[in-house]
Structure 1
Amino acid sequence: MKIALLGYGRMGQTIEQIALKRGHEIVLKVDENTKSYDISLADVAIDFSIPSVAFNNISTCLTNNVPVVSGTTGWLDKFSEATELCKQNNGGFIYASNFSLGVNIFFELNETLAKMMKNLSQYQISMEEIHHTKKLDAPSGTAITLAEDIIKHTSKTNWALDVTNSELEIPIVAKRIPDVPGTHTVAYTSEVDTIDIKHTAHNRDGFALGAVIAAEWLVGKHGIFTMKDVLGLK
């Protein structure tokens, strides 16, 4: 499989290492210094760029019939445009706030717990996410996904960063600490106890492996997919 890497930072470099180990070829490495490139060289593209260029990267892929996997967060105000472009071009597109296989299992646990807790009003919901200091967005896309999945099954209507004691919002605390790949905790706290679930990434390999697996799965398919499709969780 010929892969284009759109974004060649730490994540792009980790994806490259894992893709090569799995027998794939990297035909493009695009970063902020790349002036022009031919995306048609690739069988599939993996976008881990920055919010300001992610939509343009995805558009370039979809208008050139190259399926694209995107893990860039912070650009989702244009997500509906990307999905419409995918439909218009009969393309293949996967977006995930987190491609880690473990995190996607964590997403399922989070939804299951939310369903179990929805009628227990004595428990207050809160979330915390910790990432490295170079992460540009806060809260993380993973935290937002966790919050949105809770909202689907509870009386909460929104999430909010760094608030406390909100009846309708899920408070999220975002911390930035050097060299932390990503830690997410969801807690339900009452006067008598706390129930929490937590995912801790030890390195970036899990995110990168999941992105490569998603790219392998996407080649030859048409439509808009998620990691639930890739992992057969639907």
Structure 2
Amino acid sequence: MKVGLIGYGKMGKAIENILLKRGHEVVLKISHTPTVEELKGVEVAIEFSKPEFAYDNLKVLLENNVKTICGTTGWLNKQGEINQLTIANKTAYIYASNFSLGVNLFFELNKQLARMMNKYLNDYKINIEEIHHTQKLDAPSGTAITLAEGILDNTNLNTWSLDETGDTIIPIEAKRIENVPGTHIIQYTSNVDTIEISHTAHSREGFALGAVIAAEWIWDKQGIYTMNDVLELN
């Protein structure tokens, strides 16, 4: 598989190492929006850039029929347009707020717990806490938002917020601490006890491996997919 890395920071380098170990060829490594000329020979692109660049990067990739994996968070107000481009250009696209196998299993566990807790939310207050390294630009993390949306889809709660609290609001607390790859904690707290589930990443390798597995999976496909499709969690 001939892969282009769009965003060649720490995550891009971690992805490159795994690609090479698995026998793939990295034919493009850039930290700017690709040109048509640069994309010649690229079969699959893995995009981990910054929120302000993601849409322009994805637009060029999909318009040039490059199958694309995107892990950049904080730009999803334009996700609908990217989905339309994928369909119009008959290519393939996967977005995930987190490509880690463990996190995607955690997403499903979170939904199951939310369904179980829904009828007890008069007694239990829910809270989401996320901790990341100080270089992470968006807050809350895309993973925290995905967790919150999983709870909203399975309870009578209405929304999430970084700033507001209320009976129908899921509060998210975002912390930035040096050298923390990513920790997410879901708590249901009552006057008598606390139920808690958490996921702690120990390195970037789990995210990078998941992105490579997604690229391998999408290589011969067309359409819009999620990590649930890749990991057969549906």
CA drift at 1:53:
1.1
Give the whole-Å Cα distance in 2 for the aligned partners of 1:56 and 1:216: 24
Q: Does the 8 A contact of 2:132 with 2:180 survive in 1?
A: yes
Give the whole-Å Cα distance in 2 for the aligned partners of 1:33 and 1:57: 5
Does residue 48 of structure 2 align to residue 60 of structure 1?
no
- Counterpart residue number, 2:140: 139
- Counterpart residue number, 1:224: 224
CA drift at 1:37:
4.8
- Counterpart residue number, 1:8: 8
Q: Does the 8 A contact of 1:40 with 1:66 survive in 2?
A: no
Q: Does the 8 A contact of 2:11 with 2:204 survive in 1?
A: yes
Q: Amino acid of the residue matched to residue 47 of structure 1? A: E
Corresponding residue SS for 1:179: coil
Give the whole-Å Cα distance in 1 for the aligned partners of 2:30 and 2:219: 20
CA drift at 1:205:
0.1
- Counterpart residue number, 2:173: 173
Q: 1:37 and 1:176, CA in 2 relative to 1: closer, same or farther beyond 3 A?
A: farther
Alignment of 1:162-201 (within 5 A): 162-164=163-165, 166-201=166-201
Does residue 153 of structure 2 align to residue 152 of structure 1?
yes
Corresponding residue SS for 2:120: coil
TM normalised by structure 1 equals: 0.97
Q: 1:133 and 1:162, CA in 2 relative to 1: closer, same or farther beyond 3 A?
A: same
- Counterpart residue number, 2:95: 95
CA drift at 1:168:
1.4
CA drift at 1:65:
1.1
CA drift at 1:126:
0.4
Give the whole-Å Cα distance in 1 for the aligned partners of 2:92 and 2:35: 25
Corresponding residue SS for 2:174: strand
Q: Amino acid of the residue matched to residue 206 of structure 2? A: G
CA drift at 1:90:
1.1
- Counterpart residue number, 2:105: 105
Moved more, 52-61 or 179-188: 52-61
Count of matched residue pairs: 233
Give the whole-Å Cα distance in 2 for the aligned partners of 1:7 and 1:179: 20
Corresponding residue SS for 1:17: helix
Q: Does the 8 A contact of 1:130 with 1:177 survive in 2?
A: yes
Corresponding residue SS for 1:221: coil
Q: Amino acid of the residue matched to residue 154 of structure 1? A: T
Q: Does the 8 A contact of 1:162 with 1:174 survive in 2?
A: no
Corresponding residue SS for 1:128: strand
TM normalised by structure 2 equals: 0.97
Does residue 23 of structure 2 align to residue 23 of structure 1?
yes
Corresponding residue SS for 2:72: coil
Give the whole-Å Cα distance in 2 for the aligned partners of 1:175 and 1:206: 21
Q: Amino acid of the residue matched to residue 2 of structure 1? A: K
* Unaligned stretches of 5+ residues in structure 1: none
CA drift at 1:163:
3.6
Give the whole-Å Cα distance in 2 for the aligned partners of 1:68 and 1:35: 15
Corresponding residue SS for 1:97: coil
- 1:61-91 deviation line (CA, Å, top 9, x unaligned): 1111110000000110100000011111111
Give the whole-Å Cα distance in 1 for the aligned partners of 2:218 and 2:154: 30
- Counterpart residue number, 1:75: 75
* Unaligned stretches of 5+ residues in structure 2: none
Percentage of pairs with the same residue: 58
Corresponding residue SS for 1:54: helix
Give the whole-Å Cα distance in 2 for the aligned partners of 1:197 and 1:180: 18
Corresponding residue SS for 1:41: coil
Does residue 128 of structure 2 align to residue 127 of structure 1?
yes
How large is the Cα RMSD of the aligned pairs? 1.3
Q: 1:35 and 1:69, CA in 2 relative to 1: closer, same or farther beyond 3 A?
A: closer
Corresponding residue SS for 1:136: coil
Corresponding residue SS for 2:115: helix
CA drift at 1:33:
9.1
